[in-house]
Amino acid sequence: MATMLRVGAAQVAPKFFDRAGTLKKTIGVIEEAGRLGLDLLVFPETYFAAYPYWRGAVSVRRSTELIVEMQRSAIRVPGEETEELAAAARRARVNCVIGCNELDDRPGSLTLYNTLVFVGRDGRLLGRHRKLMPTHSERVYWGMGDASDIRVFDMDIGRVGGLICYEHHMTLLRAAMAIKGEEIHCAVWPGWWAVERHLGAKRPEPGARSCDIEPAIREYAIENQTFVVSSSWYLPPSEIPPALVGEMQYNLAVGGSCIVNPAGLFVREPVFQEETIVWADIDLEERRLAKAYFDCLGHYARFDLLSLNIRGEAWTPTGPKPLEEGGHAAH
């Protein structure tokens, strides 16, 4: 395996509430990533094809109606859209991680999940990660993942995993990803913000030093000795559907995508207010150096004193099911 890789974050605006339009644009972005020679491309949280930036600004009635629009623009995993995305990844020779609103694959359910889809550059759909705990009022919109979603995936560039937004503040989940052997981490977010006094008081501000994304991804890289590709939403006013202009009062989508090495240093500083692929060349030898100094799974661990129990079962309507090798629930 090569030690030099080119990785990037797709800081591009989807076609909001438009599944077909977003699919077409995504395929074009993957093709561009191929021309750039990227080995890995990461799209933001629920990039397919809406984040609820109206949170806290609309009535329960209106929120319910907007959930239906989220359902209509969501995708299934696997499904027609993932097949086309996998084919695009194969043609471009790019590994892809794509945030989406996912419709439940359980017959009869229309529950949405905040999901990351992992696609290999050989065109294989490797799997998914559903957000384990939607944050605050996000719980109105998305269901919760389970033990089958605590996974990393073997790609030709190494073991790749991902977490969604405030999952990066879940201490035990960060530890679980390290235990799974993650080497390259994908962090996805709805934008960048300033925090005023407490975490519930956010406003969009490009480059805000009070944003908790920067310390989260830099510390994640240090703690787990991973590279972090951080992908944030960018949604300019021109891309907001006219019917939503007065309701998107929580629009944090000012960009902020960046790349961090295992020492917690920026390989590519955050980029704001620009639609682009934010990319950088990384050297996997830097992870070896980090492990030589501080190995959270080896010489800097005390498993005799501290351990983590990861449940080996997923919950279904008929009760818990043990996980098979690969993280899937047994049938």
What pLDDT score was predicted for residue 31? 98
What pLDDT score was predicted for residue 313? 84
Q: What superfamily would CATH give domain 4-292?
A: Carbon-nitrogen hydrolase (3.60.110.10)
- Among all chains, which residue has been given the structure tokens 């695009």? 88
Q: What is the pTM of this model?
A: 0.96
22-51 pLDDT, tens digit per residue, is 999 999 999 999 999 999 999 999 999 999
233-277 pLDDT, tens digit per residue, is 999 999 999 999 999 999 999 999 999 999 999 999 999 999 999
Q: In terms of Cα–Cα distance, which of 68, 163, 154, 139 is closest to 110? A: 68
183-208 pLDDT, tens digit per residue, is 999 999 999 999 999 999 999 999 99
Contact of 95 with 39, CB cutoff 8 Å? yes
- Among all chains, which residue has been given the structure tokens 């519930």? 200
What pLDDT score was predicted for residue 329? 59
C-alpha 44/C-alpha 319 separation (Å) is: 33
Res 216 pLDDT > 90: yes
The set of catalytic residues is 45, 131, 165
C-alpha 81/C-alpha 96 separation (Å) is: 14
C-alpha 175/C-alpha 250 separation (Å) is: 31
What pLDDT score was predicted for residue 331? 44
